[in-house]
Structure 1
Amino acid sequence: MNFSKKDVLLDQLAACHNDLSWFPTFLDSVQGLTAEQAGWRSDCSSHSIWQLTGHLTYWNEKWLSYFTGKETFITIGNNNDSTFEIKEEMNEENWKSAVDKLDAAFLEFRKVIADSPESKLDTHIPNYPDECPWWAAISNLCTHNAYHIGQIVLMRKQQGWTNK
């Protein structure tokens, strides 16, 4: 069976989003968490689940914006702490909204990839400093998602916040 780059990327995005495979999905990893739990940090140098959710939302939305041409790639530089900031009041409604926002970003990215021609994935990202095709950047984004989802799962386990 032959799989296209598009098939692989859609599978990676689904595995991070809501299609349980080798590791818990984002939606599974945050299921049943309260705002208080999502905002918990072991110390000031660590990130909370809420912060990780916001960080993932930022990067998924940013790369989706680049891919759709709504924004032109600019040098990212250091991954500064601003992508981890929680700007709203930490309550149940805002926590649900944060989860819904990343859920929507995953859904939109999957739709856009599915609707794009396979050939676009082989084109290089405009203004990217190296010759990087879209498929490579999106695959790396999925790895980034999986990494932070793993942090969320580990934090839940360490705190005894099971969701089953």
Structure 2
Amino acid sequence: MSDENQSFGQALVRSLVGERGHIRIAKALPDIDLDLAGRTHEAMPYTIYQLVKHMHYWQQFMLEHIQGRKPQMPADVSESWPVEKGPQDEKTWQEDIQAFLSGIDQAVSIAETAQLNDPLLYFPGETKGGLLRNIASHNSYHLGEIVLLRRFYGAWPPPGGGFPA
């Protein structure tokens, strides 16, 4: 692995987990309970639950491409948003959070080991590193919305604080 690839991989890892620019994603989600996950706010079109499910949908879509598979593109982007406002129960919600965080771990592992400028078989013009960067920026964007919703609801900061660490 070249020094350039390794440096880019390390930068991707920091972006994927949420270092420096914002709170780590893994610290911002696990304490969100069933009620908070499905709460609606007039200033936002989505609940925290819907945001996490949407983030997970696209994260998995991009990870499949990185792994050389060709996931089915939705007919419309609205298909990546769940219709339900909240999870069915606490156990399912915690499983949703863990599935999303496991995808981040998978992306980190790829960033640490893959040749990041390798092109993707079914995504012309894109590389493994490019899609990992896309995962990081998409998750970061929506994490900001989750933090904002938590602030609206008086549920911020999470245990351990709400600043980058």
Measured against the shorter chain, the TM-score band is 0.7 to 0.9
Q: C-alpha offsets along residues 6-63 of structure 1, whole Å, 9 cap, x if unaligned?
A: 2221221122xxxx42212222222422111101112497111111111111111111
- Residue 12 of structure 1: which of 10, 15, 29 is its match? 15
User: What's the counterpart of residue 25 of structure 1?
Assistant: 24
* Deviation of 1:4 (Å): 2.3
The reply on whether 1:67 has 2:66 as its aligned counterpart is yes
Q: Distance in 2 between matches of 1:125 and 1:152?
A: 31
Give the alignment's TM-score, normalised by structure 1. Answer: 0.80
Q: Separation in 1 of the partners of 2:43 and 2:144?
A: 20
- Supply the distance in 1 between the matched residues of 2:74 and 2:127 (Cα, whole angstroms): 17
Q: For 1:125, which of 110, 120, 123 is the aligned residue? A: 120
2: CA distance, partners of 1:32 / 1:100: 12
Partner AA of 2:127 in structure 1: P
- 2:94 maps to 96
**Pairs aligned (count):** 154
Aligned partner of residue 32 in structure 1, secondary structure: coil
- Gap change, CA 1:32 and 1:75, over 3 Å in 2: closer
TM-score by length of 2: 0.79
8 Å contact 1:75–1:128 — kept in the other structure?
A: no
- CA drift of 1:92 comes to 1.2
Shift of 1:157: 0.4
Rate the CA distance shift 1:75–1:96 in 2: closer, same or farther, 3 A.
closer
Question: Which protein is richer in strand relative to its size?
Answer: 2
Deviation at 1:86, TM superposition (A): 5.9
Give the share of equivalent positions with the same residue, in percent. Answer: 18
Letter in structure 2 aligned against 1:151 = E
Q: Is the 8 A contact 1:122 1:135 kept in 2?
A: yes
Distance 1:7 1:36 in 2: 36
CA distance in 2, matches of 1:65, 1:136: 14
Alignment-derived partner of residue 157 in structure 1? 151
Q: Deviating runs (4+, > 6 A) in structure 1?
A: none
Q: Whole-Å Cα distance in 1 between the matches of residues 16 and 118 of structure 2? A: 20
1:138 corresponding residue in structure 2: 132
Aligned-residue CA RMSD (Å): 2.6
SS of alignment partner, residue 112 of structure 1 = helix
Is the Cα contact below 8 Å between 2:111 and 2:132 reproduced in 1?
no
Summarize the Cα distance change of 1:45–1:32 in structure 2 as closer, same or farther, 3 Å threshold: closer
Give the partner amino acid of 1:100. Answer: Q
Gaps of at least 5 residues in structure 1 are none
